[in-house]
Amino acid sequence: MLIINKASYNSQRIISSLLFAEALLKKDHIIDKVFFYADATTIANKNIYYSSDETNFLEKWVKLSKNYKFELHLCHTAASKRGIVESNTDYLDTNFILSGLSVMSESLLMVDRVVQF
């Protein structure tokens, strides 16, 4: 399981986490969930504008999760503090699941490794 804490538009961590996930999956490791927490929940805001010379991390994570069949989770509380709520689909990308820390905690019990960025 991967846990990502930093915003998608201003952190080396989001780049590193994506490259790490791609490398793991290419080596036949399994990722069942990626949990975006704190400022990283902004990745699910489909209204963030990326200029042509910037990487659109929303698109990259969604594509990777679809190709390798893993879930993208957002901490519901952290997301709502940043204006991303389930009832407002103008902001929330539908490829993400709003969930709580209880889902993350349960997932921690089922995996052999957790890497946090």
**DSSP run (H or E) holding 61:** helix 57-68
Choose the catalytic residue: 14, 75, 79, 98: 75
Separation CA 61–CA 97 (nearest Å)? 13
Torsions phi, psi for 72 (to 5 deg)? -110, 115
Separation CA 112–CA 72 (nearest Å)? 19
Residue 87: active-site member? no
Separation CA 67–CA 41 (nearest Å)? 21
Active site residues: 75
